[in-house]
Amino acid sequence: MKIRPIGTNMTVLEVGTDEIFFSYEMPVAAWIKGKCYKTSYKHSSTTGRHINKFLDGRRAVEMSQQFFDDLIKDEDGMFD
């Protein structure tokens, strides 16, 4: 697992070959098993620009914000 800042308030969490993209502190897009996903929730226009920069022209399937929240959920309770 590796955290990589890619711009101001933009971060990518690399987990193997998968990537979870964060705008500010919110997971909003991902590249998982060769597929792109982005949140269907309408965040700020700045977050929208961040998502577009991360996607870099790739088409993405829209998923609920809950999908992205679940990607980073601490199932083991390690952070409680």
Token couple for 37: 């996903």
Report the distance separating Cα 77 and Cα 3, nearest Å.
Answer: 20
Give counts: helices (H), strands (E), the chain. Answer: 2, 6
Is the pLDDT at 79 greater than 90? The verdict is no
The whole-number pLDDT of residue 21 equals: 97
Q: Which residues contact 17 (CB under 8 A, 6 or more apart)?
A: none
Tens digit of each residue's pLDDT (9 = 90 or more) over 18-62:
999 999 999 999 999 999 999 999 999 999 999 999 999 999 999
Q: Are 40 and 62 in contact (CB under 8 A)?
A: yes
**Considering the entire predicted model, what is its pTM?**
0.88
